[in-house]
Amino acid sequence: MLTDPTRGELLYSGKAKQVYATEDPRRILMHYTDGATAFNGLKKAEIADKGVINCRISAFFMEKMAANGVPTAFERIVGDRDQLCQRVEIIPVEVVVRNVIAGGLAKKLGLSEGTRLAAPLVEHFYKSDSLNDPQINEETAVLLGWARPWELQAMREYALRVNEILIEFWGGLNIDLVDFKLEFGRLNLDGAGCATAVVLADEITPDGSRLWERGTGRKLDKDVFRRDLGDLSETYRELYSRIFGAALR
């Protein structure tokens, strides 16, 4: 039987998650809280059970990705709100994949939301709360030393594969995947950092995705909170039931 890892030092405290060391230097515990923030922390709330729901949803998708050839840092769920993951160095370049014009893209270019793009659009953002995650291109990421060209290539390939898998999954639930954000990590393969691999890290949840119900266009993601469209806890419970075929208990 697997023994549960011990929660050690708090390494990082984010908006909806905390990361703790474990007794194994190669592994961390990622703890999902009920906290929700929007507009880079300007809007804040506690959403009942969001941490439990997102922990399970992300674990479900990470396992699906690993089974489909996308390596991830996720290992297993521990308790209700924790995930044991491989320790990685987070690459400070967020990858957004868009299938439909919405959100930041619509705002930046003065476009209305809802137009399907001819092909998935991959965008890059510099992970920096103090700068509000500005958009960058791959050349900037390389020249400023944030990611190597081969890493960016792997990130793009994995992100597009994740998109295909998620489109198919959500489509089966009558939900359109509009866009989502991914983060990747550098896994130290030899202990010295001479050999590294890129793996999918962080989370795949409705906090970082746009999910629109087919036919109605109803939003089933964190935009419900960002735009005051209803009760986010209820929305996430509904999404949970649709994914797992049973209500959260």
Binding site for ligand 5GP (CB under 6 A): 96, 103-105, 133, 179-181, 207-210, 222
Helix (H, G, I), strand (E, B) or coil at 11: strand
Is the Cβ of residue 53 or residue 105 nearer to ligand 5GP in the bound state? 105
Is the Cβ of residue 77 or residue 122 nearer to ligand 5GP in the bound state? 122
What 8-state DSSP symbol labels residue 234? H
User: In Å, what is the CA distance from 158 to each residue of 116, 121, 192?
Assistant: 21, 14, 25
Is the Cβ of residue 82 or residue 207 nearer to ligand 5GP in the bound state? 207
Query: What tokens were used for 65?
Result: 């990705």
Q: Which residues, at least 6 apart from 46, have a Cβ–Cβ distance to it below 8 Å?
A: 34, 35, 36
Q: How far is the CB of 101 from ligand 5GP (least distance, A)?
A: 9
Is the Cβ of residue 125 or residue 240 nearer to ligand 5GP in the bound state? 125
Q: Is 91 left (phi over 0), alpha (psi -120 to 50) or beta?
A: beta
Query: What tokens were used for 75?
Result: 């290992």
Nearest residue to ligand 5GP on Cβ basis: 103
Q: How far is the CB of 14 from ligand 5GP (least distance, A)?
A: 9
Is the Cβ of residue 5 or residue 208 nearer to ligand 5GP in the bound state? 208
Q: How far is the CB of 23 from ligand 5GP (least distance, A)?
A: 30
User: In Å, what is the CA distance from 71 to each residue of 19, 87, 148?
Assistant: 20, 13, 18
φ/ψ of 216, rounded to 5, equals -95, -25
Residue type, 204: I
Q: How far is the CB of 193 from ligand 5GP (least distance, A)?
A: 27
Is the Cβ of residue 5 or residue 180 nearer to ligand 5GP in the bound state? 180
Q: How far is the CB of 195 from ligand 5GP (least distance, A)?
A: 30
Q: How far is the CB of 145 from ligand 5GP (least distance, A)?
A: 22
Rg of the chain (C-alpha set): 18
Query: What tokens were used for 116?
Result: 């399907």
